[in-house]
A = this chain, B = another copy of it.
């Protein structure tokens, strides 16, 4: 029997973006994760805050648990009730949402309408997260990074990406 996969399944794909999207690649999961990151930690609280259907919330929470970005701890037994919190893997993933939020603040809502801002504990200031290069420490501005084949690149499997790499190298050589 062939199992027909309806929702896109990226779990076999040799691509970091696709594999991460297997965790947060739908409209609701990132919002659920954001709520948990902010400290809205219970089923009904998340449901009230987001207004998504209870069925979908159940599915998303289970998926987050499976991917080990979220864990739950009982705050009462019988009936069992839980607080959902981020794991370390989840706290790291929340950084992606921080950058996502910064994009929305800047390009869609406008900084003056941002409903949530983050305070950087180390310096105490309100932080606008920016993306930096871990080598030189400088901010990487849009267009200042170019894609190159990594250690796991398989040109046979991705001929279109291969061609794109070649075109980029030609452009660079022409300078």
Interface residues in chain A, defined as those with a beta carbon under 8 Å from any beta carbon in chain B: 7-8, 10, 14-21, 25-28, 30-31, 34-35, 37-40, 45-46, 48-49, 52, 88-89, 91-109, 111-123, 125-140, 142-154, 158-161, 163-165, 167-168
A118, B147: Cβ atoms under 8 Å? yes
A134, B128: Cβ atoms under 8 Å? yes
Checking B18, B27, B94, B117 against A25 with a beta-carbon cut-off of 8 angstroms, the contacting residue is B27
B154, A20: Cβ atoms under 8 Å? no
Given contacts A133-B123, A136-B123, contact A31 B20 (CB under 8 A): no
A131 to B91, CA, bound (A): 13
Given contacts A17-B100, A131-B132, contact A120 B95 (CB under 8 A): no
Checking B26, B31, B152 against A17 with a beta-carbon cut-off of 8 angstroms, the contacting residue is B31
Residues on B with C-beta less than 8 A from A119 are 145-148
A147 to B37, CA, bound (A): 9
Checking B40, B93, B120, B132 against A164 with a beta-carbon cut-off of 8 angstroms, the contacting residue is B40
